[in-house]
Amino acid sequence: MSDKSYLDWPFFDAKHRQLAADLERWASDNISDEHHSDTDAACRDFVARLGAAGWLRYAVGGTAFGGKYDVIDTRAICLLRETLARHSGLADFAFAMQGLGSGAITLHGSTEQKQGYLTKVATGTAIAAFALSEPGSGSDVAAMSCAARLDGNHYVLDGEKTWISNGGIADFYVVFARTGEAPGSRGLSAFIVDATTPGLEIAERINVIAPHPLARLRFSNCRMPKSALLGTPGQGFKVAMQTLDIFRTSVAAAALGFARHALDASLARATQRQMFNQALADFQITQTKLAQMATGVDISALLTYRAAWQRDQGQNVTREAAMAKMTATETAQQIIDAAVQIWGGLGVVSEHPVEKLYREIRALRIYEGATEVQQLIIARQTLTAWEAQAAD
């Protein structure tokens, strides 16, 4: 049984404690972390079941459009991701991508766009995707080359996007493209592109170590109505960054869920496994590991829920979200590695729970801003704050 004492921390309200308890019950009854031979089908199934049970309502903002609340509650999103990740990486993925893929619509969509897309995302009847990265621009978003030009009442999209989660199974993609109002980051815009739009093709399906739907998309003379524009022309970079400000914190929460699972599995093994006439947990060398793992879990939880709470207070969290994402993902990697060591040979057997965690955690240190990008963000923000103080 996972430690729940953190729910008493002052970051949470009564509704969060209730959510955590209800979700834990639902996840225990409904999620099994078995091997899925058809990842696409398993992901579709998770989206449908998470939608039917009402959990996806937390992933969108606006009660008039199916959302649980008018504004996305970041602490709820984080509790959902942490709990789902502790039970199944793919269940967490299915939830997270509904949120990331529709986050820009929640933040900047028109009433028609919210009515058309958010309601379906919240019920699990449409699958969402976020298309930002390109073969030539991952960390450096402002360098993207995928372009959209205005042609009468249409925008025409040309270029490629890659590493697109839900690519191939999504019903729509929020796509960022260069519209050229100004150079660099000030000349990008966001669009909602339906998967059936002529000129959009799945150029490649990509297999990764922890399987989930992933693809490279190609846009060739892809014509969309002007109404596909999301927000204001030229504001696409900020739309992307604001969306990431919410969901980067939730990546930290998912890493925390994986880390808690690894700690629980290690405690179970260390107390049961006998060697040299005592339990593994009786060795001080094991206790050192367990102490570091437990402390790492709490450090990650503190940073994650600090960032989530701060965003829910209406404050800027670019720095705090970056700190949480960097620390929780890097720490979870170390905790899971220690769990594999504690499990020994069994820890590297295919589909053993800790072997799966070992594969699941790796991508989180890369996607939605690699650790190195988070370091850049934290350093810039820290320097800016210091310079502002020095100028006073």
* Smaller CB separation from ligand COS, 27 or 252: 252
Residues 216-245, one symbol each (x = binds ligand COS by CB under 6 A, - = not), give ---------------------xx--xx-xx
- Estimate the share of the chain in helix, then strand, then coil, as percent rounded to the nearest 5: 60, 15, 25
Q: Say how far apart CA 297 and CA 98 lie, in whole Å.
A: 26
Closest CB 186 distance from ligand COS, rounded Å:
5
Residues 298-337, one symbol each (x = binds ligand COS by CB under 6 A, - = not), give --------------------x-------------------
Q: Is 142 in the site for ligand COS (CB under 6 A)?
A: yes
Closest CB 344 distance from ligand COS, rounded Å:
34
For residue 18, give Cα distances in angstroms to 23, 170, 249, 281: 8, 31, 21, 34
Q: Measure CA 115 to chain center.
A: 24
Q: Say how far apart CA 83 and CA 14 lie, in whole Å.
A: 17
* Smaller CB separation from ligand COS, 242 or 371: 242
* Smaller CB separation from ligand COS, 252 or 377: 377
Q: Is 373 in the site for ligand COS (CB under 6 A)?
A: yes
Residue 15 backbone dihedrals phi, psi, to 5 degrees: -65, -30
Q: Is 133 in the site for ligand COS (CB under 6 A)?
A: yes
Q: Is 185 in the site for ligand COS (CB under 6 A)?
A: yes
Residue 24 annotated among the catalytic residues of the structure: no
Return the number of other C-beta atoms located less than 10 Å from residue 363's C-beta: 20
For residue 179, give Cα distances in angstroms to 3, 91, 219, 234: 49, 35, 15, 7
Report the residue from 56, 85, 141, 148 that binds ligand COS according to the rule CB under 6 A.
Answer: 141
Beta bridge partners, 230, equal: 190
Q: Measure CA 285 to chain center.
A: 34
Q: Is 173 in the site for ligand COS (CB under 6 A)?
A: no
Q: Is 188 in the site for ligand COS (CB under 6 A)?
A: no
Q: Which residue of the set 82, 134, 160, 368 is catalytic?
A: 368
Q: Is 102 in the site for ligand COS (CB under 6 A)?
A: no
Handedness of CA 54, 95, 308, 33 (dihedral sign): positive
Contacts of 56 (CB under 8 A, 6+ apart): 47, 50, 95, 98, 121, 122, 123, 124
Among 223, 247, 201, which residue's Cα sits nearest to residue 150? 223
Give the binding range for ligand COS (CB under 6 A) out of 1-9, 328-336, 350-358, 364-372: 364-372
* Smaller CB separation from ligand COS, 31 or 129: 129
Q: Is 377 in the site for ligand COS (CB under 6 A)?
A: yes
Give the binding range for ligand COS (CB under 6 A) out of 8-16, 36-44, 101-109, 133-141: 133-141
223-225-230-233 Cα dihedral, nearest 10 degrees: 80
Closest CB 317 distance from ligand COS, rounded Å:
8
Q: Is 368 in the site for ligand COS (CB under 6 A)?
A: yes
Q: Using an 8 Å Cβ cutoff, are 224 and 125 in contact?
A: no
* Smaller CB separation from ligand COS, 9 or 367: 367
Q: Tell me which residues in 245-274 interact with ligand COS (CB under 6 A).
A: 245
**Opening angle at CA 384, ends 318 and 374, nearest 5:** 40
Chain residues in the site for ligand COS (CB under 6 A): 132-133, 138-142, 185-186, 237-238, 241-242, 244-245, 318, 367-369, 373, 376-377
Catalytically active residues, by annotation: 368
